[in-house]
Structure 1
Amino acid sequence: MVTQEVFGLLDGRKIPLLTLTDGPVSVELIPLGAAVRAIRVPDREGRTVDVCLGYDTPAEYRDWNSALGGTLGRCANRIGGARFTIGGEEYRLTANEGANTLHGGAEGFHKKLWSYALREDSVTFSLNSPHGEEGFPGNLCAEVTYTLRRGTLTMAYRASCDRDTVVNLSNHTYFNLAGHDTGSITGHRVTLGAGRYTPSGAGNVPTGEIAPVDGTPLDLRQGALLEERLGDPFLKGTRGYDHNFVLDGGTAPAAEVYCPATGIALEVCTTLEGMQFYTSGFLTDRPGKGGAQYGRAGGLCLETQHFPDAVNQPSFPSPILRAGEEYRETTSWRFFLKK
């Protein structure tokens, strides 16, 4: 079931709040950034817990950084040097993180007002990005459909373009399975199905190497409590986890997160080959929903994606979408209870 009400005003325009409901689980979406604003699930005591960080007004989604809940594009994560070459032609992008491009540039897709269409158990957001926007080539048509069924929220991404371009769509929801307003995710247990990662150099841009996680705090294949890992010197430069993992693939989930305090668990499955695992070490103090205060280690992100800077790294799977072809990727989040 999908319901619609007014979320608030932005520059005099009404911004709707769209709520998907299936049994005890509900998900709030807004077309500003095609963003996830709230995810409410029952804990082991039957109490409803909102496990997604968010804001109370449209202006906060536009004005604050960190893209809470937003759909990232045209290219999620970093492009080193804010430039790339396709077919012998160099394209220079907006540099919005030092010399690099992050999450699509100065006004990525998470800042855009998307069109939307409602169905019985889904919402489809659509966006047209013109040729040259933030420096990217081609007129791009992007789409993300959110569907909620049996405790699983699925995001189906589609895109097409009239020129060869770069496309890497992702979602930047910050999860806290203890509740968005509880302050810290250090008590969460995280398991990642990834035996390798992409080491980074300056600006957290990959070097092009693919390395094993063995012997590092990035080895989360057997699961670990974050409070036991976040202080490791290996993670000092990134203030915790802010790394792209090379997913093992296959039928196993890409990730599982579990909160012992509530019993709530999250399982992530995806068609994509990478996942940026981020424990919000750079999230600055800010107001959140309902008077909550957010800050460092207040949530964790599981950004399924093509690898960062893949367009400039020949050893990485290519993020180039050819003219006339269609980009199709899917990520799902399944919420359930564990003892």
Structure 2
Amino acid sequence: MTVIIKKEPFGKTQDGKEVTRFVFEGGRVTVAVLDFGCAIQSVHAPDNQGRLTDVALGYDQVQGYEKNLPYFGVVVGRVAGRIAGGRFSMDGQDYSLTINNGPNNIHGGVTGFSRRLWQSSIDGNVLKMTYNSPDGEDGFPGDVNVTVTYELSEDGSLTLEYTATSSKPCPINLTNHVYLNLSGHNSDDVFDHVAQITADTYVPVNNDLIPTGELSPVADTAVDLRQPTRLRERELAIRRGDLDVTYCVGQNGTLKLVSRISHPESGRFIDTFTTEPGLQFYTAKYMADAVGKGNKQYQPFASFCLETQHYPDSVNHSNFPNTILRPGETYRQKTIYTFGVE
């Protein structure tokens, strides 16, 4: 089998721009990506009986992605996660960003990268998306050019590679925000999933979900997932929001296996490999007012995200891995999501 990419229309934006859906076909898994928001729109993966099910939450029409308050499937930037107060200082200058999450900036701002139409091209079985973010967009400095490529292997590995350059020093921290439920996107919760995340430490946060600056051991806490753990065993902690946490998963720039999430009943699993130092594991506590594919009302705790990234608010914490991209440098990230069957 050879994976091919097919193009099909996905409607028009409110201002009349045509949106395209790119479908990777021919392998064990079928994936669809939009040029709006650079979004993963669907992932059809087989279970242990060979039955294909869409395991990615999302929308049937582009209008959903234009609003998309949960950030289904999109690439978020310039900075994934929260920046405290929407402010940071760099090289002796203060910057103020758009505020869109309580008192903070999250995922780049009101529009960010996730509600933009990206330019697209196909090279064999690789889909290339680019976006040029102008100086001052959402309050960030510098003209930033971003490229994201998607490649799907025959065996079900979806590889995302990100690069970015900037004309001025600027914080950059990109990720994809796909929501998954391995029993199907329209399932009611994820408590029957089993999670393993290979991290000895994590990033504690305050009541505004801003990092305190500490890096704490996971041992003897509800966020310790070093051994395979059925999420039902952590249901109370999940409902409190404890499993909305950035794990410290290893050295920046080194590709490594950082997690396996599995669904024993269907046999499906997803392995995550990344070059990033952080993995944000989120179990959708704040899901609200999201009617998705097939008119499904998506509920809190009915999906999870595996956001490979640097730590949130890194620009305000000198002890966190650096997120400042300077002229002449190139930001690089590689993440692989492998969908398989046990």
Tell me the TM-score normalized by structure 1.
Answer: 0.96
Residue 279 of structure 1: aligned partner: 283
Residue 273 of structure 1, CA deviation: 0.1
Matches for 1:177-192 after TM superposition, within 5 Å = 177-192=182-197
Root mean square deviation of aligned Cα: 1.3
Does residue 207 of structure 1 match 2:212? yes
Which of 296, 315, 318 aligns to 2:319? It is: 315
SS, match of residue 2 in structure 1? strand
Query: How many residues are matched?
Result: 335
Give the aligned residue type for 1:231: L
| Paired residue secondary structure (1:287) | coil
Of 319, 336, 339, the match for 2:340: 336
- The equivalences for 1:80-119 within 5 A come to 80-119=84-123
Residue 156 of structure 1: how far off its partner (Å): 0.1
Q: CA deviation at 1:202?
A: 3.0
Q: Which moved more, 1:291-300 or 1:40-49?
A: 291-300
Assess if the C-alpha contact under 8 Å between 1:2 and 1:19 holds in 2: yes
Distance 1:293 1:126 in 2: 32
Q: Contact (CA 8 Å) 2:256, 2:274: kept in 1 or not? A: no
Q: Which residue of 2 aligns with 1:4?
A: 7
Q: Which moved more, 1:164-173 or 1:181-190?
A: 181-190
Q: Which residue of 2 aligns with 1:300?
A: 304
Q: How far apart in 2 are the matches of 1:96 and 1:288?
A: 22
Contact 1:198 1:243 in 2 (8 A): yes
Per-residue deviation, 1:314: 0.8
Q: How far, CA to CA, are the matches of 1:98 and 1:23 in structure 2?
A: 43
Structure 1 gaps, min length 5: none
1:36-80: CA deviations, max 9, x gaps? Answer: 000111110111011100101101111130100000100000111
- Residue 311 of structure 1 contacts residue 318 of structure 1 at CA under 8 Å; is this kept in 2? yes
Could you tell me how far apart the structure 2 residues matched to 1:24 and 1:272 are? 27
In the alignment, the residues of structure 1 paired with residue 123 and residue 177 of structure 2 have an alpha-carbon distance, to the nearest angstrom, of 24
Query: Which stretch of the first structure deviates more once superposed, 59-68 or 4-13?
Result: 4-13
Identity of paired residues, percent?
37
How far is 1:230 from its partner?
2.3
Secondary structure of the residue aligned to 1:266 is strand
Map Cα deviations across residues 118-164 of structure 1 (whole Å, 9 max, x no partner).
Answer: 12211111001111111100000011000001310000000000100
- Whether 1:265 aligns to 2:269 is yes
Structure 2 CA distance for aligned equivalents of residues 23 and 223 of structure 1: 28
1:109 is paired with a residue whose SS is coil
Does the CA-based 8 Å contact 1:2-1:119 persist in structure 2? no
Q: Is the 8 A contact 2:239 2:285 kept in 1?
A: no
What residue identity is the alignment partner of 2:213? G
TM-score, structure 2 normalization: 0.95
CA contact (8 A) 2:256 2:275 kept: no
Match of 1:46 in 2: 50
Give the AA of the match of 1:26. T
Name 2:60's counterpart in structure 1: 56
- Cα offset, 1:178, TM superposition: 0.3
> Structure 2 stretches of 5 or more lacking a match?
none
Aligned to 2:138, the other structure's residue is in SS state helix
The equivalent residue for 1:246 is: 248
Distance 1:267 1:218 in 2: 19
Q: Pick which of 159-168 and 22-31 moved more.
A: 22-31
Q: Compare 247-256 and 327-336 and name the one that shifted more.
A: 247-256
Matches within 5 A, 1:164-183: 164-183=169-188
1:228 equivalenced with 2:233 (yes/no): yes
Correspondence for 1:216: 221
AA matched with 1:313: H
Tell me how far apart the structure 2 counterparts of residues 36 and 286 of structure 1 sit (CA, whole Å): 17
Q: Does 1:17 align with 2:59?
A: no
Which residue of the other structure, out of 132, 135, 139, is the alignment partner of 1:131? Answer: 135
SS at 2:208 equivalent: helix
Helix, strand or coil for the counterpart of 1:59?
helix
Asked if 2 retains the 8 angstrom alpha-carbon contact of 1:199 and 1:207, the reply is yes
Preserved contact between residue 31 and residue 114 of structure 1 (Cα < 8 Å): yes
Question: Are the aligned partners of 2:257 and 2:272 in contact in 1 as well (CA < 8 Å)?
Answer: yes
Note if contact 1:154-1:331 (Cα within 8 Å) is conserved in structure 2. yes
- Hey, what's the Cα distance between the residues in 2 that align with 1:141 and 1:230? 41
Q: Residue 301 of structure 2: SS of its match in structure 1?
A: coil
